Amino acid sequence: MKSLFPLVLIAVLISGCATSHSLPSTELRYGDAYLPPIHVLTDDPLKGGEIRNSLRATGMFSDVISGQPPADGYAVRVNVAQERDLPPFPVILLSAATLFLLPISDSMDSRLGFTLMKGGQTLKRYDYENKTQRYTWLLDRKEEATEENLRRITRAFAQDVQRDGLMPAVEAKP
């Protein structure tokens, strides 16, 4: 039992401290107003809700809506490519044999392309990549790393759109 304790401690330390993202976090600065509502369509319907929620959480857009925009509205088409890289199957089996106390590497490479459009005309395309490298084990909170992986991309997009000034700000607060 005593010999198991250092192993568990190492597992906790490795899985808790070793998450790294290739895309740095973005500090957003807000004006008095929000950017106009955007209608967001993705080429991966399963990821659509997750991406829209992440865009809503940036606090930059006055609304993030699913579906086609009205004629004078802003549309954002999102191309999603995500790859997950796990170790070879025997290593996963070895971890399973230890009831997942043995951490295994788990990386996720997300590439998102945002095409900003208005009235059917493309205003600009923004491309981002974030590679998240981490270790996963039994008591791991994988969702946090997955959310952060996407959060860094959507916040970078929000900052770039704001900086480019392609969308005039609108008063959205009561």
Partner 1 sequence: MKHGFFHASMLVLIALLGGCTITESSSWVSQPLSPEQGQPRAYLVGAVGPDELMPATAQNQRLLFRQRGSEQGAAAIWIDNGIRQTPKDIQKGRASASVFVMPLKPGEYELYDFQFFSISSTGYGTYSSSLQAREKFVVPMRLEAGKAYYIGEYRSRCLTSSACLFIQRDRMARDESIARARVTHLPDLQYLPLQLERAKPFILPERAETQTQTKDRSSQ
> Which residues make up the interface to partner 1 (CB under 8 A)?
28, 30, 34, 49, 52-53, 56-67, 172-174
Tokens representing 10 are 């190492």
Q: What's the closest the beta carbon of residue 87 comes to partner 1, in angstroms?
A: 31
CA distances from 102 to 10, 14, 88, 116, 131 (A): 9, 10, 14, 44, 23
Q: Compare residues 6 and 24 and give the one whose CB is closer to partner 1.
A: 24
Length of the chain: 174
Q: What's the closest the beta carbon of residue 18 comes to partner 1, in angstroms?
A: 21
Beta strands in the chain (DSSP E): 20-21, 38-42, 64-66, 74-85, 104-118, 121-136
Q: Compare residues 56 and 131 and give the one whose CB is closer to partner 1.
A: 56
Q: What's the closest the beta carbon of residue 138 comes to partner 1, in angstroms?
A: 22
Q: Compare residues 163 and 173 and give the one whose CB is closer to partner 1.
A: 173
Q: Compare residues 133 and 159 and give the one whose CB is closer to partner 1.
A: 159
The closest alpha carbon to 154, from 5, 28, 20, belongs to 28
